[in-house]
Each structure stands twice: as C-alpha cells, then as structure tokens.
Amino acid sequence: MSKAYNPYEDMLEVLEKAAKMLGLDEKDYEALKYPERELKVAIPVEMDDGSIRVFQGYRVQHSSSRGPCKGGIRYHQDVDIDEVKALAAWMSFKCAVVNIPYGGGKGAVKVNPKELSKNELKNLTRRYTAMILPLIGPETDIPAPDVNTNAEIMGWIMDTYSMFKGYTVPGVVTGKPVEIGGSLGRKEATGRGVMFMTREILHRLGMPIIGAEVAVQGMGNVGGTAARLLHNEGCKIVAVSDVSGGVYRRSGLDVNEILSFLSSDEGKLLKDYNAPGIVHITNEELLTTECDVLIPAALENQITEALAPRIKASVIVEGANGPTTVEADKILERNRKVVVPDILANAGGVVVSYFEWVQNIQSLMWDEEEVNRTLEKIMIRAFNEVWEKKNEKGTTMRMGAYMVAIDRIVKAKQIRGIFP
Ligand code: GLU
C-alpha cells in the first residue's frame, strides 16, 4: 500500500536528497524545510442571494533570502495548507534555478470558482486581498495568476491594494491586464517556456523536433499555449486533455481548431469536441499514450507510482507544479525516462512576471519581442546550468535543478547570516 500523497513531504524528500548530493551540512539547509511565514484567513463573502459564505484562504512565504517572496494565487476546491506550503517552496527553488532575484511564496483560496458569479468572485478576491494585505507589496511578496486565476483577478487585487494605499501600486501583483501595467507576453510566458525547454531537451537528446509526437495533459493557459507553440515548431500533437477527458488522433490533432472550439463559449469541454479520426480517451490513457514527449500541464499528483511504469513517452516536460510524485519519479529514473522538472520547465511564467515587476518599478514598457527574447535567453541559460550540474553529479535533471537552486539559496543565506 502506498502512503497518502502529501506534496509537502514530497518536497522535503527531494530537498533532502539534493542537499546531501551537494554535500551540505544539515544546518545549511535546515531553514528551507519550513516556510518563513504562514497566514490563514477566513473570508466572508455576501453571495448574490443574500446568504453569507466563509471561504478558507492562505498566503505562505517560504523564503525571502534572495529577494521578495513571489508566487501565484490559486482558487481550487481541494487546496489545503500542505499543498500551499509545497507550492511556496517550489517557487523559491524555481526563482533560484532561473536566477531571478526573488524568494518564494504562494496563496490559495479553497473554492470552486466555477460555482461563483462574477460579482461573488470579485468580492471574494477583494476581501481575500484585504486580509492578506499585511504580507503583500512590491517589496515584500508579489502574487500572480495560478490555477483558476487570471489577469482580471490580478487587476482586482492591484486595485484593492492601491485603494488601501491611496495611490496606484502596479508592482504589487503580476499577470495583470496590459492596460493597467501588465506585461506583453506574460499570458503566454509559461507555455512559451515549456516550448523552449522541450526544444532544448530534444536537441540535447538528438531527437528531431519536426514530427516529434507530443501529448499534453491540460488545455488551460499553460498546456494550451505549449501545444500551440510546439505545433508551430513542427511537433505532432497526438493527444490533449482537460478535466472532461482527452482526444487522440494518430495523424496529429488540429491544435488551433481545438483551442478555438474551447474558447468559443464559457465552459466548453473536450468531451464535446469532434473531428474526423478523433478518439476520445481518459486522462489516464493520455498520460500513458504512445508518444515521444509527455507534457503534464494540469495539477499535482498525476504521474503516480501506479501509473509511472506504464508511461511510454521517453521525455516528460513538467508544465504543472508537482505533477510527478516522489515514488513515481524513482520509477521514471529506473526506466530511463528524461524528466525536465517543473521548477525549470514551467519557470517561464515567473520570469516574465519578473519583467513585469521591473517594468512597473521603472515605469517602462517593453515590446513583446524584447520580452520573448529575454525570456528565451534566461530559460536557455538555466537549462544549460541544470544540464551541466546533472552531468557533473551523474544524476537526473530534477536533482540537477534542485542542486543549482539550493546552492544559490544557501549561499544567499550564508552571506546574509542569521539575524540577530
Ligand atoms: N503561478 C505561476 C507559477 O507557479 C507563476 C508565478 C508568478 O508569476 O509569480 O510559476
């Protein structure tokens, strides 16, 4: 019997292993096992029918050693504190691996936003922002979109914070609408980064990108953009899925047609999509599809110990945070699968968040070409550093990425010392 999944314990196990491989003393990384701060809030919302519902919310700051805490806010009915703590720690490692001057944080509200009206969602967001206000700010902790949150919600956060301050503070949040200080290219940034990382790994492995068969789990912002951009690079997208299940076509799917179908109406799902030669599959069938590259871009805990032995892709590029459990990862390593780990593969989003924050602080506006070019440079630099570390220590890319990240955070901590 495998033990119940706990993302925080998985995070600790990987941290421990990488720190040992780096030859660190326990005292060097002891503090990284715990978040610096955790805030839990109860958010009352007046619903449209006049009733009151109280939602559970969190903001966790894992580390501020390398700069302000940075990380998204997710709205999901299943979130709990251990998930938010793990996600916050993964943000610290992610920002360190791409070497941007941030620590890590994460926020969440336990809610299924699809059950709320627009007005209820806005009230929930504004009240949540007011309740985490003591923690956030452009110099302390900067939220961004994550699962089920978007630019519009970030706009409400920016406005609420600014109303309390008495002046407009664009840099308190990233992933905002472009009209109020958002960055060009931010929306596509995570998916674009996944595309760059897929391109780099295929190149390293001597596998041609043209015609490479790709399966993508999740057709949200990350999976949808990655599928579209990889299709443009010449990959054959053979399977995609969303919460309702997936679609498969051996000769390749028409990604643009699928994306316009999904965006044609609020709540459109793949189970209702049809085209000649399409086979409807489950999410489990998608993950075990015959293909070259598998991109899990949905939630944590998808590639489990039970599923990992059946994965046929030779390369896995983690678009989601924590899609592979620790036990599953050991099986993938044994089966010689190459995994580009989440903290590297999906870092494109936070990298362009960093550009957005820099633009806000300087009151500058970059054009999209500059954003995409600088993103590519940072992502490729990080990929190469991880690849070198992996080769130097004869280990996996995940361990390589964690070693690069932990080394940077520990060094920052040592240089600063412990107060008082
Ligand atoms: N939520 C995204 C992530 O997990 C983006 C975070 C950010 O831009 O701060 O990386």
φ/ψ (deg, to 5) at 242:
-140, -165
Is the CB of 270 within 6 Å of ligand 1? no
Write the residue with the smallest CA distance to atom 9 of ligand 1. Answer: 71
Asked: is 189-345 a CATH 3.40.50.620 domain? The reply is: no
What atom of ligand 1 comes closest to residue 142's alpha carbon?
Answer: 9
- Helix runs in 281-367, H state only: 283-287, 326-334, 342-345, 348-362
Write the residue with the smallest CA distance to atom 8 of ligand 1. Answer: 350
Is the CB of 57 within 6 Å of ligand 1? no
What atom of ligand 1 comes closest to residue 346's alpha carbon?
Answer: 10
In this structure, what token pair is assigned to residue 343?
């903290």
How far does residue 198's CA lie from ligand 1's centre (Å)?
Answer: 19
Domain locations in the chain as residue ranges:
34-180, 189-345
In this structure, what token pair is assigned to residue 310?
């059946």
Please provide the distance, in angstroms rounded to a whole number, between the alpha carbons at the two ends of the chain: 46
Asked: is 34-180 a CATH 3.40.50.10860 domain? The reply is: yes
What atom of ligand 1 comes closest to residue 74's alpha carbon?
Answer: 1
How far does residue 370's CA lie from ligand 1's centre (Å)?
Answer: 20
Is the CB of 107 within 6 Å of ligand 1? no
pLDDT at 93 over 80: yes
What atom of ligand 1 comes closest to residue 174's alpha carbon?
Answer: 8
Is the CB of 72 within 6 Å of ligand 1? yes
Whether the domain at 34-180 and the domain at 189-345 fall into the same CATH topology: yes
Is the CB of 86 within 6 Å of ligand 1? no
CB 336 within 8 A of CB 342: no
What atom of ligand 1 comes closest to residue 87's alpha carbon?
Answer: 4
Q: How far apart are CA 338 and CA 201, in angstroms?
A: 9
Is the CB of 349 within 6 Å of ligand 1? yes
The HSE-up count of residue 403 (CA atoms within 13 Å, CB side) is 24
Check the CA dihedral 384-386-392-396 and report its sign: negative
How far does residue 146's CA lie from ligand 1's centre (Å)?
Answer: 6
What is the average pLDDT value for the chain, to the nearest integer?
Answer: 98
How far does residue 374's CA lie from ligand 1's centre (Å)?
Answer: 17
pLDDT digits over 26-67, tens only?
999 999 999 999 999 999 999 999 999 999 999 999 999 999
What is the model's pTM? 0.98
pLDDT at 3 over 80: no
Is the CB of 300 within 6 Å of ligand 1? no
- Binned at pLDDT 50, 70 and 90, residue 266 comes out as confident
Active-site residue flag, 106: yes
Q: Which residue out of 353, 355, 375, 378 has the highest number of ligand 1 atoms within 8 Å of its CB and is therefore the one to mutate?
A: 353
What atom of ligand 1 comes closest to residue 146's alpha carbon?
Answer: 1
pLDDT digits over 291-340, tens only?
999 999 999 999 999 999 999 999 999 999 999 999 999 999 999 999 99
Write the residue with the smallest CA distance to atom 7 of ligand 1. Answer: 350
pLDDT at 406 over 70: yes
Q: Say which residue the tokens 């949150």 belong to.
A: 149
Is the CB of 174 within 6 Å of ligand 1? yes
Q: How far apart are CA 170 and CA 176, in angstroms?
A: 8
Distance of CA 302 to the CA centre of its chain: 14
Sequence-distant (6+) residues with CB within 8 A of 277 are 249, 250, 251
Q: What is the pLDDT of residue 209?
A: 98
Q: How far apart are CA 326 and CA 72, in angstroms?
A: 23
How far does residue 349's CA lie from ligand 1's centre (Å)?
Answer: 6
pLDDT digits over 349-403, tens only?
999 999 999 999 999 999 999 999 999 999 999 999 999 999 999 999 999 999 9
pLDDT digits over 175-217, tens only?
999 999 999 999 999 999 999 999 999 999 999 999 999 999 9
pLDDT at 2 over 70: no
Active-site entry in 106, 176, 236, 390: 106
Is the CB of 321 within 6 Å of ligand 1? yes
Query: How large is the average pLDDT for residues 137-164?
Result: 98
Q: How far apart are CA 319 and CA 300, in angstroms?
A: 10
- For residue 73, the tally of other CB atoms under 10 A from its CB is 30
